[in-house]
Structure 1
Amino acid sequence: MENQIAVLKSSRTSRYLRIAPILFFLYVVNFLDRVNLSYGIDAGMFKDIGAPASSASLIAGIASALFFVAYAIPQVFTTLQINNVGIRKIFAGAFTAWGIITILTGFVQNVPEMYALRFILGLAEAPFYSGVMFFMGIWFAKSERGLANGYFNAAIPVAGIFGGLIAGGIFTAYGNDPGWRYLFIFEGILALVSVVILWFTINDFPEDAKWLKDDQKKALESELAKEEADKPIKSSWKEALIERDVLLLVLVYFLGVTGLYGYTIWLPSIISSFAHVSAATSSFLSDIPYVVAAIALIFILRYSDKKGNRKRLTAAVFFVAAGGLALSAFLISNVVVSFIFFTISAIGIFSFLPVFWNIPQESLKRESSAASIGLINGIGNLGGVVGPILVGGLESYTHSFVSGVYAMAFFVLVAGIAVLIVRNSR
């Protein structure tokens, strides 16, 4: 037993170095393609393609939401296919599709075309996140998974940093229009380049990896089998889909994602509205919450792996997000103080993902985890429908983002309370 643990540890560094950087890079590209719309909205892209000024925010929210409607449709089925076919082929097809779609977005001329492309983009991106969560579960033991998930999910704030710099630079050089068009074209090309990179760097399963020794493969397989036997949730994936904890995790993820995408899609526009600055300036200022969140995430992940209390830590980061958002809206009369609290809320908004995903990975059996994770990710991501429409709709109705910020605070507060009710996790 001690020898097996030693062998497992001997492969840990090589597994981290071989897997984490490429998944991190792919997620940066994925998140750039997902939220580049936020910078385009602030640059006036919907007015440029014919949306009335009075309802442009609501129309933009609907465009963002259509992505997540489509994203939810194939979740369970694509994740099961990853278990059968492997991640490399499915991801190569997905990245190719969404790269082409993102490039085409740079050429849209009207709102219906934008709606259609956002919907198709959601279908194309559907396999990625839940596929990676399943992939992590077969490459890393429970004790290693928190750090691996953390490195992967740190791509969100890092993508935000790069996204703000890229958008700000393009808008400064080319103006808002055609700047927002060049933004989509550039990031679509980046997705196509990623196909080549992932094809030559990813192994579908540990048994396929030539860089792992046979005893290292056996040690990992043995450790995962032991964890599998200790998991309390039923083995049938059909039963898992109606398991109480799975449904609770769907709710928690839905509420968290509502806050996440309400925040990310409207971040540049909220900054422009509160501070009265240009689209280029707000793009650069958008980097500040992402930088703070990225730094905080390092310490949160270390604490998570050290203490292992995923449930309480997930609740805590939700409460930080709720407090920061509520205080930001309440103190809107002082722009600097409001922005400080808005930035603090980013710590919770962007930190919940890596901590949260340890809960289903550690409590669901492998044969049920593929479908259950697909369900959590697919249905939970419908929060991406609610968040952008809610914030955009409230802005169109009240001509202010304050009520939308309060709404996001409420959703993440309830998420923090709900996660504490999950039973089969510490």
Structure 2
Amino acid sequence: MSYRPAPDQGHDIDRNALYRRITLRLIPFIFICYLFNYLDRVNVGFAKLQMLDALKFSETIYGLGAGIFFIGYVLCGLPSNLALNRFGPRRWIALMMIAWGTLSTCLLFVTTPMEFYVLRLFTGAAEAGFFPGIVLYLSRWFPAQRRGRIMALFMSAIPVSGLLGGPFSGWILNHFAAGQGGLAGWQWMFLIQGVPTVVLGCLAIVLLSDGYAKAGWLTPAQRQAVEADLNADAAAKPKTASDSLLSVLANPLIWTFGFIYFCIQSGVYAINFWLPSIIKNMGFDDALLIGWLSAIPYLLAGLFMLLVGRSADLRNERRWHLVVPMLMGAVGLLMAVNFAHSPVIAILGLSIATMGALTGLPMFWPMPTALLTAGTAVAGLAIINSVGQMAGFLSPYLVGWIKDQTGSTDVALYSLAGLIVVGSLVALRVSRSS
């Protein structure tokens, strides 16, 4: 995964200034889009604090509803990414955002488990191509050497969504707890957090460029420099006999990467969907206080993510910058389980778990994007993401079912911590042999 300097094309261009310009043009808007993407996906974790009592849902119903989102996500991930490649990122990203924003907002009308399941399923299908599409999109703007930091900047939207979304969601639940305008607090939350996504989808048509070749805000020399850097990356990648869909499906490396990503996401979604409930079980009842306490792990995770991303690029090292955060995620979950009686230590454990699990996400993606050819990446990244996102179904459902059966989340969190450790060992082996 070493980076080779580009040929002479665009040699007179200041690469740092060029990629800084591209970053400032693309990343802030994509960051905001992903922030709302993640918030719309996991805000049911806060809605749960009122929604279950209001609708008489069990923990298992909630876990299934939270997780069924990812069935639609997995089923539509590959076709959505192929459609993005066919119709162009600008239009397809806009369409996806308008669709999932509308569906997420409609969760405020839910009254039965079936309505909850159906809306979550279709919201997952609408979101399916967004993340792998953005990963593919960024890989066509930035060479491999710069992707660790770029992915960390982009994916720092996850902890920021927790940092801002936790207190904001808690405030909404408290402020509208008595019901205003005929809506309960959890209904207002879906409305207030869903509508901005639709607006951002409309703005994507105007603010995004389909690629560097069509970016009128770059000079011809700058476009040539980007092309030279990406061509140098392509020349350094392993050659494959075919980039057909069948060859991609038969590629064991893709499924190995999918398993590693599944292990990372198992920890991430356990934290995202259950963090408010875990904090509540420590003895905190006020929704706003729960929101502020849940923001602590996300604040630390955001800072840690950016530091590790910078370190990975400066050292051009990927293996340990992925494996160490994954192991942190497992250790943090174990701390949270074993010291649940001590809120300070438990929140410290949750913070370590969140820092590790969330940092594993951006540290993972430079590996497959550096190793997969351009043709393989279109389908390969979607498959990897879809396999990983299956954890989004398993993790919340497993935790909810075990809690209903045992009255505790401990066994589920132990299992998920063990899975993260297995994934880190596989990642260590793959990155060593790559």
Same fold by TM-score greater than 0.5: yes
* Alpha-carbon distance between aligned partners in 2 of 1:163 and 1:304, rounded to the nearest angstrom: 28
The match for 2:3 is none
Q: Secondary structure at the match of 1:40?
A: helix
Return the offset for 1:264. 0.4
The match for 2:423 is 415
Distance 1:299 1:128, change over 3 A: same
Identity of aligned residues (%): 28
Return the offset for 1:107. 1.5
Does the 8 Å CA contact 2:171/2:287 hold for their aligned counterparts? Answer: no
The match for 2:288 is 280
Does the 8 Å CA contact 2:318/2:431 hold for their aligned counterparts? Answer: no
Match of residue 316, structure 1, among 310, 321, 324:
324
The match for 2:381 is 373
Asked whether 1:114 is paired with 2:121, we answer: no
* 1:63-212 matched pairs, under 5 angstroms: 63-175=65-177, 178-212=184-218
Q: What is the number of residues matched between the two proteins? A: 421
Does the 8 Å CA contact 1:272/1:282 hold for their aligned counterparts? Answer: yes
Match of residue 293, structure 1, among 301, 324, 337:
301
Match of residue 35, structure 2, among 3, 13, 28:
28
The match for 2:272 is 264
Aligned-partner residue type, residue 372 of structure 1: G
The match for 1:246 is 254
* Alpha-carbon distance between aligned partners in 2 of 1:402 and 1:192, rounded to the nearest angstrom: 38
Asked whether 1:350 is paired with 2:352, we answer: no
Match of residue 400, structure 1, among 400, 404, 408:
408
Does the 8 Å CA contact 1:245/1:424 hold for their aligned counterparts? Answer: no
* Alpha-carbon distance between aligned partners in 2 of 1:31 and 1:405, rounded to the nearest angstrom: 22
Instruction: Output one character per residue of 1:332-379: Cα deviation in whole Å (capped at 9) or x when no partner.
Output: 232221221121111111101111000011111011101000000112
Q: Secondary structure at the match of 1:15?
A: helix
* Alpha-carbon distance between aligned partners in 1 of 2:306 and 2:433, rounded to the nearest angstrom: 22
Instruction: Output one character per residue of 1:286-340: Cα deviation in whole Å (capped at 9) or x when no partner.
Output: 1011011011112111111111221222111100111111122122232221221
Q: Could you state the TM-score of these two structures normalised by the residue count of structure 1?
A: 0.95
* Alpha-carbon distance between aligned partners in 1 of 2:11 and 2:132, rounded to the nearest angstrom: 28
* Alpha-carbon distance between aligned partners in 2 of 1:136 and 1:300, rounded to the nearest angstrom: 19
Aligned-partner residue type, residue 85 of structure 2: N
Return the offset for 1:47. 2.9
Does the 8 Å CA contact 1:106/1:181 hold for their aligned counterparts? Answer: yes
The match for 2:4 is none
Instruction: Output one character per residue of 1:138-165: Cα deviation in whole Å (capped at 9) or x when no partner.
Output: 0111122111111100000001111112
Aligned-partner residue type, residue 288 of structure 1: I
Does the 8 Å CA contact 2:149/2:306 hold for their aligned counterparts? Answer: no
Return the offset for 1:407. 2.1
Aligned-partner residue type, residue 13 of structure 2: V
* Alpha-carbon distance between aligned partners in 1 of 2:318 and 2:270, rounded to the nearest angstrom: 24
RMSD (Å) for aligned C-alpha atoms: 1.6
Q: Secondary structure at the match of 2:111?
A: coil
Q: Secondary structure at the match of 1:118?
A: helix
Does the 8 Å CA contact 2:333/2:413 hold for their aligned counterparts? Answer: yes
Asked whether 1:48 is paired with 2:54, we answer: yes
Q: Secondary structure at the match of 2:25?
A: helix
Does the 8 Å CA contact 2:167/2:288 hold for their aligned counterparts? Answer: no
Structure 1: gaps of 5 or more residues: none
Distance 1:217 1:425, change over 3 A: farther
Distance 1:275 1:339, change over 3 A: farther
* Alpha-carbon distance between aligned partners in 2 of 1:320 and 1:423, rounded to the nearest angstrom: 18
Instruction: Output one character per residue of 1:360-407: Cα deviation in whole Å (capped at 9) or x when no partner.
Output: 111110111010000001121101011101111111111112222212
Return the offset for 1:50. 3.0
Return the offset for 1:284. 2.0
Distance 1:6 1:303, change over 3 A: farther
Q: Secondary structure at the match of 1:140?
A: coil
The match for 1:230 is 236
Q: Could you state the TM-score of these two structures normalised by the residue count of structure 2?
A: 0.93
Does the 8 Å CA contact 2:330/2:418 hold for their aligned counterparts? Answer: yes
Does the 8 Å CA contact 2:72/2:124 hold for their aligned counterparts? Answer: yes
Q: Secondary structure at the match of 2:218?
A: coil
* Alpha-carbon distance between aligned partners in 1 of 2:286 and 2:113, rounded to the nearest angstrom: 23
Aligned-partner residue type, residue 188 of structure 1: G
Aligned-partner residue type, residue 383 of structure 2: L
Return the offset for 1:233. 5.1
* Alpha-carbon distance between aligned partners in 1 of 2:351 and 2:311, rounded to the nearest angstrom: 21
* Alpha-carbon distance between aligned partners in 1 of 2:276 and 2:53, rounded to the nearest angstrom: 16
* Alpha-carbon distance between aligned partners in 1 of 2:29 and 2:12, rounded to the nearest angstrom: 26
Instruction: Output one character per residue of 1:113-144: Cα deviation in whole Å (capped at 9) or x when no partner.
Output: 11110001001101100000000110111122
Does the 8 Å CA contact 2:98/2:202 hold for their aligned counterparts? Answer: no
Does the 8 Å CA contact 1:315/1:419 hold for their aligned counterparts? Answer: yes
Aligned-partner residue type, residue 313 of structure 2: D
Return the offset for 1:92. 1.2
